[in-house]
């Protein structure tokens, strides 16, 4: 996945309303009206958030007559998870080396 696509996903999730939408869509698809309900925002503002999520590939809407439910593209979040997981493994390896250094310090200067 190109870095700019990942940046779009990160940016799309940088907004608390959009994160909340994603969390709700992870439970079930929803229409725009259903999505808008808890936020006290204009439909126009909701569509704006949806457009950001759509452009990042995080959500999609089927073509066809209204109302078209919004669907979470769960797979779109995987590459980010994968990057973080690899980064985590690298940190885990570093800290295992630190474990060994700390263990040797214990032997030299018992607590």
Query: How many chain residues bind another protein (CB under 8 A)?
Result: 35
Q: How far is the CB of 75 from another protein (least distance, A)?
A: 18
Helices (H), 26-77: 32-36, 43-55
Q: How far is the CB of 52 from another protein (least distance, A)?
A: 13
Residue 6 within binding range of another protein, rule CB under 8 A: yes
**Residue 73 phi, psi dihedral angles, 5° rounding:** -85, 85
- Distance CA(31)–CA(50), nearest Å, equals 11
Of the candidate residues 13, 32, 52, 77, the single one contacting another protein (CB under 8 A): 13
SS3 37: helix
DSSP 1: -
Give residues in contact with another protein (CB under 8 A): 3, 6-7, 10-11, 13-14, 16, 19, 80, 82-103, 105-106, 111
């Amino acid at each position: 996945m190109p870095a700019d696509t990942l940046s779009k996903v990160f940016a799309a999730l940088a907004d608390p309303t959009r994160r909340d939408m994603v969390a709700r869509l992870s439970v079930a698809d929803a229409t725009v009206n259903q999505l808008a309900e808890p936020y006290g925002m204009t439909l126009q503002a909701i569509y704006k958030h949806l457009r950001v999520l759509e452009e990042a590939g995080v959500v999609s809407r089927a073509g066809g007559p209204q109302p078209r439910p919004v669907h979470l593209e769960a797979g779109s979040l995987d590459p980010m998870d994968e990057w973080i997981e690899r980064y985590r493994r690298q940190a885990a390896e570093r800290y295992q080396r630190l474990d060994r250094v700390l263990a040797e310090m214990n032997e030299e200067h018992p607590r």
